[in-house]
Amino acid sequence: MTLDLPPIDIAKYVAAKRAADMVEDGMKVGLGTGSTAAWLVRCLAERVQEGLAIKGVPTSQRTARLAQEAGIELITLEEARWLDITIDGADEFDGELNLIKGGGGAHLQEKIVATASDLMVVIADVGKAVDALGAFPLPVEVLQFGWRTTQMLIEEMLVSTDVLGRSASLRMGGQTPFVTDEGNYVLDLHLHRIGHARQLTLMLNQIPGVVENGLFIDICDRVVIGHGDGRVVVRDINLGTEEVSHMESEAEDNLFRDL
């Protein structure tokens, strides 16, 4: 059946479906977190029902629940040790395939899983492409203990960096602070533009109380960009190639009715 979806969801779906086609029988697959990654889980589940044998390593409790409900066999990263491929979404990506991730608060596990993979593939709608990172708030996972001090140290450090904004806010989940799967808080840095992302990620992770930040530098190998008209662009940073195709926005209703 043809899905009756708005263009943004068609873009996410076709990107996820194209990336799911990159997964081969017997692979150990890192499963990302977020709205686009949820489409991926459903697309992989459809292939599993058709006979594809894979083992998935989820990057969050949310993804684990979704994958289990969809019938994908899960293992831990400790059991897998190393992965063939990780497929995940992104909040922003630039021309060098550097990313901002963590809008869903899972960037710590996402970064660990992505770096333990032979291939890291990002799936995104075309609106996530930017000339320079930073319009999306940069998530920084911090310990609950002394988080206000950590926030102060981050804001002081930002004075000497090439960014346009220098404020940090505690992410809330309703009336209480948002808490990650690891029991930490998230500070969102409102930077507007990041001049030197590679330098910033190193400086952030040197601050006491910082667990990990949402800058993914030199981690992504390939990005799959979906468009609302069904077009898909696959850009490979290592091969220097760009492939354009068109995918039909068709899927089984029972797999996608809750997205």
The CATH number assigned to the domain holding 60 equals 3.40.50.1360
b/e burial code for range 193-220 (CB count within 10 A of at least 16 → b): ebeebeebbebbeebebbbbbbbbbebb
Would residue 2 count as lying in a domain? no
Verify that 209 and 222 share a domain, yes or no: no
Q: What is the mean pLDDT of the chain?
A: 94
Would residue 108 count as lying in a domain? yes
Verify that 232 and 148 share a domain, yes or no: no
Q: Per residue in 107-135, pLDDT tens? A: 999 999 999 999 999 999 999 999 999 99
Q: What integer is the mean pLDDT of 180-202?
A: 98
Q: How far apart are CA 33 and CA 63, in angstroms?
A: 6
Residue 2 is predicted with a pLDDT of: 47
Verify that 15 and 118 share a domain, yes or no: yes
Verify that 146 and 208 share a domain, yes or no: yes
Verify that 94 and 201 share a domain, yes or no: no
Would residue 223 count as lying in a domain? yes
Do the strands 28-31 and 83-88 form a parallel or antiparallel pair, or are they unpaired? parallel
Query: Has residue 5 got a pLDDT over 90?
Result: no
Report the binding-site residues for substrate: 33-36, 88-91, 101-104, 128
Please tell me which residue in 46, 92, 110, 212 is annotated as part of the active site: 110
Domain count of the chain? 2
Verify that 107 and 228 share a domain, yes or no: yes
Query: Has residue 259 got a pLDDT over 50?
Result: no
Taking the alpha carbons at both ends of the chain, their separation in whole angstroms is 15
Verify that 83 and 142 share a domain, yes or no: no
Query: Has residue 197 got a pLDDT over 90?
Result: yes
107: which 2 tokens? 């960037």
* Annotated catalytic residue 110: yes
- Which of the four pLDDT bands, split at 50, 70 and 90, describes residue 249? low
Would residue 89 count as lying in a domain? yes
Is the whole model's pTM more than 0.85, yes or no?
A: yes
Q: How far apart are CA 6 and CA 16, in angstroms?
A: 16
Report the binding-site residues: 33-36, 88-91, 101-104, 128
Would residue 202 count as lying in a domain? yes
Q: How far apart are CA 239 and CA 213, in angstroms?
A: 28
- Which of the four pLDDT bands, split at 50, 70 and 90, describes residue 248? confident
Q: Which of 40, 124, 133, 38 has the alpha carbon at shortest distance from 89?
A: 124
Verify that 97 and 225 share a domain, yes or no: yes
Q: Per residue in 55-92, pLDDT tens? A: 999 999 999 999 999 999 999 999 999 999 999 999 99
Would residue 125 count as lying in a domain? yes
| Lowest mean pLDDT, pick from 108-117, 123-132, 149-158, 249-258 | 249-258
Would residue 1 count as lying in a domain? no
- Which of the four pLDDT bands, split at 50, 70 and 90, describes residue 200? very high
Q: What integer is the mean pLDDT of 27-53?
A: 97
Residue 147: CATH number of its domain = 3.30.70.260
Verify that 122 and 170 share a domain, yes or no: no
Would residue 98 count as lying in a domain? yes
Verify that 222 and 208 share a domain, yes or no: no
- Which of the four pLDDT bands, split at 50, 70 and 90, describes residue 1? very low
Verify that 30 and 97 share a domain, yes or no: yes
- Quote the domain boundaries for residue 144: 138-213
Verify that 97 and 53 share a domain, yes or no: yes
